[in-house]
Structure 1
Amino acid sequence: MTTPPNGRGAASPDAVLRPHAEQEHAAELARLAEHDDRPRPPGWRLSPQAVTVYLLGGELPDGTAIVPKYVGPRRLVEVAVATLATDRALLLLGVPGTAKTWLSEHLAAAVSGDSTLLVQGTAGTPEEAVRYGWNYARLLAEGPSERALVESPVLRAMRRGSVARIEELTRMPGDVQDALITILSEKALPVPELGTEVQARKGFTVIATANDRDRGVHEPSSALRRRFNTVVLPLPDTIEDEVEIVARRVAQIGAGLELPETPAGLEEIRRVVTVFRELRSGLTGDGRTRLKSPGGTLGTAEAISVVTGGLALAAHFGDGVLRAADVAGGIVGAVVQDPASDRVAWQEYLETVVRDRPGWGDFYRACREVS
């Protein structure tokens, strides 16, 4: 039997499919803490400077290498970290594939050592997920009591002085979102049924994420927006940055899934990234040809998924080398979400761009075969 994370009887990180950030990078976090001699905000495990090194990578005085967790503008990361040291909550906003969830998890792991205090926003998220609920068996037997109270992840973060994470804030109904206003402004949560309140300990804050494409679904009220400092995460600036992100993440996922060792296949990774960048921008890399953009999301996360699936095919059904045929099916599945309009855009891209591109003949044939 396995038990909860963060030392509360957790299974070994090697035994779980996807370790939490604080489990997977426990050694790095420990080394950073040992060498961290800068001031730490109340309740923080590391100083803001050390948190930034953890996220962007670097080398410690003893030669320990800290691998980058996020590839992006340094100033943007510094603004996000500095926000968490103030009384403002942090909203990470961006299109799909800009690593909002990834960054929020690693921020929580570095700041408070626990990334698991998470509320997943959906259209059906109830207010109890943000505030608190009740164990109704105890409530009927004993009436309102501390033992009958079921704490939300946000309430647990308040008691511990930790970071609470809220995924897809704008997917949550407006009245559920507004349950955060008192928490973020007063740093307290009234429990009128018990005639008391829970006051947040120092170190408590909230990191929320929101999808740029969800604007207009459940727009946060102006009162709630004022409680957040918004940091907009961009897509990778260059193809080199995006290839690096995909290659590093695919290697991590492959190791976690214990896929048979497969050569990195950087050429195929670069082709997948090139296709996605050109289609989502509506323009070829040389700027000469305008393209129809499919309606689906073609972000870095989708590229990682396509390459990971390709590695599995190459390892289990191929010769162990990542080839065009291994990624073609995944690309077509990612691009053609709408069988009508997206298929037209994809076929046009294949015939006007890919077919005549030097060195892409194998890729063209593989995509034609699965299309």
Structure 2
Amino acid sequence: MSHPATGAALRPHAEQSYADELAALERADSRPRPPGWRMSPWAVTQYILGGKLDDGTEITPKYIGHRRVVEIAVATLATDRALLLLGVPGTAKTWLSEHLAAAISGDSTLLVQGTAGTAEEAIRYGWNYARLLAEGPSEAALVPSPVMTAMADGRLARVEELTRIPSDVQDALITVLSEKALPVPELSMEVQAQRGFNVIATANDRDRGVNDLSSALRRRFNTVVLPVPATIDEEIDIVTRRVADLGRSLELPEVPTSLAEIRRVVTVFRELRQGVTTDGKAKVKSPSGTLSTAEAISVVTNGIALAAHFGDGTLRPADVAAGIHGAVVQDPVSDSVVWREYLETVARERDGWDGFYRACREVSR
């Protein structure tokens, strides 16, 4: 089977999309590097937070937030402690873990996606059963997990949604993180972790109680909590940048990005999320959904596609109304009441929101 060129990928990996920036940082980086790292902790942090190098290369911000949060995460990975990124949905946990792996190891693809059906083989190893039956246990019949591959190569492994993985499967990580070795008793051997190996895991605050980490496993992680954007301007900046990135990746037709519409989407989400209007004068009910920054990005991106293909090429309230309605009204009974009340008591009374109010009312009928 032939494979298309990397440039045709719908979503290139971080190390592919930002190869030029990573190469420029490596050239400019003269600071000490931990064993197995492509660049120093300073350069990794620079890659994540953005800035301008001495040679004029612009490093785009990958994460907008507190610098200290990123520094703690990077410093953790330079020790023998694994990193757990914890936060509510939409706080860029997956995005940050991917870029950390790309900068440190040059490879963000050693990924275990956690679900209720994730088996122990995804963390340890499995077998090619055709070869196993034909030849018996052998290294040739062994199918390494992403974690085993990362150990053998001295790279970072990523475990997404750790608390969605069944508890007995989670605990397969304990030996890996404490002994830095993965036994293969069937072959009377073990894989020892090489320098540069570590694990980045992510978990949602809202998943607590699903499959809580055992105390033994939690002790192996240093937990870094990723907060929601502190201010509306910070969240608008994040949405604007990510929408631009997605638009280029998806090759959407050029649509002048309306900062007014992005601000409106972010304002609606923040007010419903926090249960109070931005001026603090009125309380509002919160719907059942998360209304995260990631969902705001999705609403605006979808709105741009509507404006480009079915509108006049300018992002307008009618282009984002359906997306906002779909994000807010997860429960058609209780959330519909919350949304109608918000429209009538907040959106209807707000200056400059007449078009938005009418578009949302039309969608809500």
TM-score w.r.t. length of structure 1: 0.97
* Equivalent position amino acid for 1:313 in 2: L
Q: Which residue of 2 aligns with 1:313?
A: 306
Q: Which residue of 2 aligns with 1:292?
A: 285
Q: Which residue of 2 aligns with 1:329?
A: 322
Shift of 1:204: 0.2
Q: Which residue of 1 aligns with 2:195?
A: 202
* Equivalent position amino acid for 2:123 in 1: V
CA distance in structure 1 between the partners assigned to 2:6 and 2:52 by the alignment: 24
Matches within 5 A, 1:82-231: 82-231=75-224
Contact map agreement 1:13 1:24 (CA 8 A) in 2: no
Name stretches of at least 5 consecutive residues in structure 2 with no aligned partner. Answer: none
1:303 to 286, 292, 296: 296
1:269 to 262, 271, 275: 262
CA distance in structure 2 between the partners assigned to 1:296 and 1:265 by the alignment: 25
TM-score w.r.t. length of structure 2: 0.99
1:69 to 59, 62, 74: 62
- 2:349 alignment partner, SS class: coil
Shift of 1:205: 0.2
Q: Which residue of 1 aligns with 2:30?
A: 37
Asked if 1:244 corresponds to 2:237, the answer is yes
CA distance in structure 2 between the partners assigned to 1:63 and 1:137 by the alignment: 55
CA 1:342/1:2 → structure 2, altered by over 3 Å: closer, same or farther? farther
CA distance in structure 2 between the partners assigned to 1:92 and 1:29 by the alignment: 23
Deviation string 1:211-232 (CA, Å, 9 cap, x unpaired) is: 1000000000000000000000
Name stretches of at least 5 consecutive residues in structure 1 with no aligned partner. Answer: 4-10
- 2:200 alignment partner, SS class: strand
Q: Which residue of 2 aligns with 1:6?
A: none
CA distance in structure 1 between the partners assigned to 2:5 and 2:304 by the alignment: 26
Shift of 1:14: 2.1
CA distance in structure 2 between the partners assigned to 1:36 and 1:264 by the alignment: 36
- 1:147 alignment partner, SS class: helix
Q: Which residue of 1 aligns with 2:45?
A: 52
Shift of 1:165: 0.2
CA distance in structure 2 between the partners assigned to 1:252 and 1:73 by the alignment: 22
Instruction: State the number of aligned residues.
Output: 364
Shift of 1:2: 5.1
- Could you tell me the percent identity over the aligned residues? 76
* Equivalent position amino acid for 1:326 in 2: D
* Equivalent position amino acid for 1:314 in 2: A
Asked if 1:235 corresponds to 2:242, the answer is no
* Equivalent position amino acid for 1:209 in 2: T
